[in-house]
Structure 1
């Protein structure tokens, strides 16, 4: 409490309400200052000559008197121990505090932790994270996007940038995707692990919807999504999401995202891109500059440190890359096509009107009529409404069409509808 300001306002004849509004104190504090001024005979002239020590003597802090009865925890030494020994815990500091030779009272463990938190908040103490080689991979989406304009239609879509980084060496991976959905999220991890040539022990994501969710709306427990958990099981690694509203948990990847924004996205933003493949080729060239050419303060590049100390500690990749599988029940339209994610895939025309089981991976789309696979297509990620024709089916239909041609029927008539021959 700034009692000097309160007494100065009292000497000027201000009211209690004016003083409380100005200083942010209570009426009790003003009354205490008023009594002290009366008892000590403090005049405005004497008040101007009072030092900070004199004010403390007039208004002693009872909390300091109580704290003087306890032994000093020496929190500065505890912080020093934590910085030099990453295995040193606050409980060890409390045990050493109890074993000290001081004759004063000793704080309980809960009081010790509370006072350490106050000390850390007042001095802005941050625990130093000692990253181990090959242990973790941090992942996140970058904030900025770039437009991709299709040359054929002029339609514009956004390119989202996935960023992964190994905190020990700082080796960065980046790739552009058309969406931030689960399929893109999982495929980005597959490509990142292939880029590193191995699997770390942990993957640390942010709390994106493709990574975590709550079991219930207001539940504080956060669990990993089923599709993301399948990826972790395939690569035999653990997923440890960063805590919500704890930016320091993922401070490393935030720095790497900033590096990607300034050294990759910033360089490519002035150009026009017509497809993701072209954009990702340019991203790869910028990654080479960031990982292989840019030398840091210690004189090494990210790639050199990775190959020298971290690459050998990564677990080997499995024989087959992970593919997320999604099953759907889709009805075949009258045009003998099924539609999924705004893309159309053709099937034999005899199946029009039937419901098929569709198995979708990142690369293929397979249709099943019961247990029989009727056709398979490459997964499309193009603009909405594009059709991938089933050429064997179309040729079969044309060969079995009625002859509408003139004369002896040697050629089909132009401008007439072609219908399949009835059985």
Structure 2
């Protein structure tokens, strides 16, 4: 078999020559010349190819001029230095260099600028010093942007990452905003999962959630007062990196972790209805990462964390309240405004002051100690989240406002107001007129406060099939659908048959549950006697009238 590489060819030539084969025979055998055989006998390793001299380019005559411009930039203001385009423009204007292109200048400037700065002692080559971390001492925290298909819309959310420096164990959470509530909740979740806090420093960016002001270019920071309270509650010792790109290298572990998690678990873009569903998946992915080996480490992340976890600082018994509370007045549109966004509350609270508790991913509204509304937090600014159920009492008096209501539009988009609702509404308006048909629909929607959504839709569909467009008929069929579901859950068959609901009158249903009537039927004989007595009395009275 012929040799496949030059190394194998040299080895075969040397072997045949040692076996006594002549150089001429070796040349014929392998089809090579005398210099090749001679080189193989002199060295078992082929000589490296001679490096070709650089090919001349049309830019060569102008390179000294470009170097002169770049040297002048060493003392020029940072924002008034030559770009590749400006270098090309000067060569064209001052030296009529019409035979060169922008690509030539760009490639040369990209390499030569750094070389000139290094030769002048202005720009040393960027180097990184390897670091060692003791178990349980240091950690890093960062936020990263991620895109999510949330309820059918692509939105930008924020990935929180808390990473232990020794083991590489990271805990992640996705939030609707990157504000202080998310910053605090991410810490609380991460520390509870890790079972403790680092005993040393935790590295941070200069986030507004923690840093109120960066003082010069030093490490001194003026921290947010609420962040100071939170940090002291858990005993965290903060270390703030330098501003800008240079500071990102000081916490490169968590910077790389955010990118790794985004590429490996959030591609393709996840599609969920609520962020709570996505965070359940994130918790599962974090557990899977315990089996990962980071670079050339001999053990997995989970094995390193098993060593680190007992060395963490214990957590306080009492948790920190991470939410923000606002005292707000409900406007005449039955809304409250929180952080430039509006959320609805029931109309009976219009004009009253309520307490809004803002979390990272949701908003809860209280009247005293009673919760009156709960919303998923809006991501974009200037948005509105309205619940149709909050406006039903006023829509009973103003049914004409329902077709164009924003709450109805949002209910349709969220799947709460289904095509079955629309079909039942259209049929009711056709039979009763627009006003009475809309009021009937509102009465049906009020049933949703005590009947599950899927059962109410089943009741609407059943009543629509037979044309019984009344609230009582919908309530009856919804209850029958609920009873069928309850019965199905108790059957041993994997796929029990569900009885098709039928509409019956309420009178027949009530009579079916009454006990049988055992009383004897009345006799008409006594009734005839009473009629006879009444007829004779009437005759006597009439005679008296004639006598008078």
Question: Aligned Cα RMSD in Å?
Answer: 4.2
1:285 is paired with a residue whose SS is helix
Q: Which runs of 5+ in 2 are unaligned?
A: 1-61, 70-119, 379-383, 398-435, 444-548
Q: Report the equivalent of 1:74.
A: none
Structure showing greater Rg: 2
Q: Do the aligned partners of 2:324 and 2:359 also contact (CA within 8 Å) in 1?
A: yes
- Shift of residue 126, structure 1, vs aligned partner: 4.1
Equivalent in 49, 56, 68 of residue 24 of structure 1: 68
Q: Report the equivalent of 2:135.
A: 133
2:257 is paired with a residue whose SS is helix
> Against the structure 1 CA distance between its residues 19 and 171, is the aligned structure 2 distance closer, same or farther, given a 3 Å change threshold?
closer
Q: Report the equivalent of 1:272.
A: 271
- Shift of residue 314, structure 1, vs aligned partner: 0.8
Output the CA distance in 1 between the equivalents of 2:210 and 2:192: 20
Q: Which runs of 5+ in 1 are unaligned?
A: 1-17, 26-117, 399-412, 419-423
- Shift of residue 321, structure 1, vs aligned partner: 2.6
Instruction: Say if 2:371 is the partner of 1:376.
Output: yes
Q: Report the equivalent of 2:281.
A: 282
Q: Report the equivalent of 1:162.
A: 160
> Against the structure 1 CA distance between its residues 228 and 148, is the aligned structure 2 distance closer, same or farther, given a 3 Å change threshold?
farther
Q: Report the equivalent of 2:180.
A: 182
Instruction: Say if 2:326 is the partner of 1:328.
Output: yes
Q: Do the aligned partners of 2:167 and 2:305 also contact (CA within 8 Å) in 1?
A: yes
Q: Report the equivalent of 1:228.
A: 227
> Against the structure 1 CA distance between its residues 386 and 378, is the aligned structure 2 distance closer, same or farther, given a 3 Å change threshold?
same
> Against the structure 1 CA distance between its residues 322 and 380, is the aligned structure 2 distance closer, same or farther, given a 3 Å change threshold?
farther
- Shift of residue 337, structure 1, vs aligned partner: 5.0
- Shift of residue 287, structure 1, vs aligned partner: 2.4
Output the CA distance in 1 between the equivalents of 2:370 and 2:183: 27
> Against the structure 1 CA distance between its residues 340 and 121, is the aligned structure 2 distance closer, same or farther, given a 3 Å change threshold?
closer
> Against the structure 1 CA distance between its residues 123 and 149, is the aligned structure 2 distance closer, same or farther, given a 3 Å change threshold?
closer
Q: Report the equivalent of 1:241.
A: 240
Residues 92-107 of structure 1 mapped to structure 2, 5 A cutoff: none
Residues 22-171 of structure 1 mapped to structure 2, 5 A cutoff: 24=68, 122=124, 126-143=128-145, 145-150=146-151, 154-171=152-169
Q: Do the aligned partners of 2:217 and 2:242 also contact (CA within 8 Å) in 1?
A: no
CA offset digits 1:341-364 (Å, max 9, x no partner) = 535353783x53244554545677
> Against the structure 1 CA distance between its residues 386 and 348, is the aligned structure 2 distance closer, same or farther, given a 3 Å change threshold?
closer
- Shift of residue 324, structure 1, vs aligned partner: 2.1
Q: Which has the higher helix share?
A: 2
Output the CA distance in 1 between the equivalents of 2:359 and 2:271: 30
> Against the structure 1 CA distance between its residues 193 and 331, is the aligned structure 2 distance closer, same or farther, given a 3 Å change threshold?
same
CA offset digits 1:364-423 (Å, max 9, x no partner) = 74646xxxx2633575325541339689x98xx99xxxxxxxxxxxxxx984999xxxxx
Which is bigger in relative contact order (C-alpha 8 A, separation at least 6)? 1
> Against the structure 1 CA distance between its residues 379 and 180, is the aligned structure 2 distance closer, same or farther, given a 3 Å change threshold?
farther
Q: Do the aligned partners of 2:149 and 2:269 also contact (CA within 8 Å) in 1?
A: no
Instruction: Say if 2:380 is the partner of 1:385.
Output: no
After superposing the two structures, state which structure 1 stretch, 165-174 or 381-390, moved more.
381-390
CA offset digits 1:186-243 (Å, max 9, x no partner) = 1111111112111113321112222323179999953222332232122122222212
- Shift of residue 300, structure 1, vs aligned partner: 0.9
- Shift of residue 320, structure 1, vs aligned partner: 3.1
> Against the structure 1 CA distance between its residues 379 and 228, is the aligned structure 2 distance closer, same or farther, given a 3 Å change threshold?
farther
TM-score, normalization by structure 1: 0.55
TM-score, normalization by structure 2: 0.43
Output the CA distance in 2 between the equivalents of 1:357 and 1:263: 41
Q: Do the aligned partners of 1:162 and 1:175 also contact (CA within 8 Å) in 2?
A: yes
Residues 335-350 of structure 1 mapped to structure 2, 5 A cutoff: 337-341=335-339, 342=341, 344=343, 346=345, 349=348
Corresponding residue pairs, total? 281
CA offset digits 1:56-94 (Å, max 9, x no partner) = xxxxxxxxxxxxxxxxxxxxxxxxxxxxxxxxxxxxxxx
Output the CA distance in 1 between the equivalents of 2:345 and 2:123: 63
Output the CA distance in 1 between the equivalents of 2:335 and 2:310: 49
Q: Do the aligned partners of 2:150 and 2:275 also contact (CA within 8 Å) in 1?
A: no
Output the CA distance in 2 between the equivalents of 1:198 and 1:169: 14
- Shift of residue 254, structure 1, vs aligned partner: 1.8
Output the CA distance in 1 between the equivalents of 2:387 and 2:66: 72
Q: Do the aligned partners of 1:169 and 1:305 also contact (CA within 8 Å) in 2?
A: yes
Residues 389-400 of structure 1 mapped to structure 2, 5 A cutoff: none
Q: Do the aligned partners of 1:203 and 1:237 also contact (CA within 8 Å) in 2?
A: yes
- Shift of residue 330, structure 1, vs aligned partner: 1.4
